[in-house]
Amino acid sequence: GAGVSQSPRYKVAKRGQDVALRCDPISGHVSLFWYQQALGQGPEFLTYFQNEAQLDKSGLPSDRFFAERPEGSVSTLKIQRTQQEDSAVYLCASSSDRRSYEQYFGPGTRLTVT
Partner 1 sequence: AQTVTQSQPEMSVQEAETVTLSCTYDTSENNYYLFWYKQPPSRQMILVIRQEAYKQQNATENRFSVNFQKAAKSFSLKISDSQLGDTAMYFCAFMKHAGNNRKLIWGLGTSLAVNP
Contacts to partner 1 by CB under 8 A: 31, 33, 35, 41-45, 48, 50, 55-56, 59, 89, 91, 93, 95, 100-103, 105-108
Within a 10 A sphere around the Cβ of 14, how many other Cβ atoms?
8
The rounded radius of gyration (Å) of the Cα atoms in the chain is 13
CB of 4 to partner 1, least distance (A): 9
Residue type, 13: A
Nearer to partner 1, 14 or 40 (CB): 40
- State in angstroms the smallest separation of the CB of 21 from partner 1: 15
Nearest alpha carbon to residue 93 among 77, 70, 112, 80: 77
Give the residue from 5, 63, 59 showing the smallest Cα distance to 37. Answer: 59
Q: Which is nearer to partner 1, 56 or 85 (CB)?
A: 56
Spatial separation of the C-alpha atoms in residues 27 and 9, rounded to whole Å: 20
Provide the minimum distance between the beta carbon of 25 and partner 1 in the complex, in angstroms, as a whole number: 14
- CA–CA separation, 83 and 18 (whole Å): 10
**Minimum distance from CB of 107 to partner 1 (Å)?**
5
| CB nearer to partner 1: pick between 14 and 101 | 101
Given the complex with partner 1, which of 44 and 68 has the nearer CB atom? Answer: 44
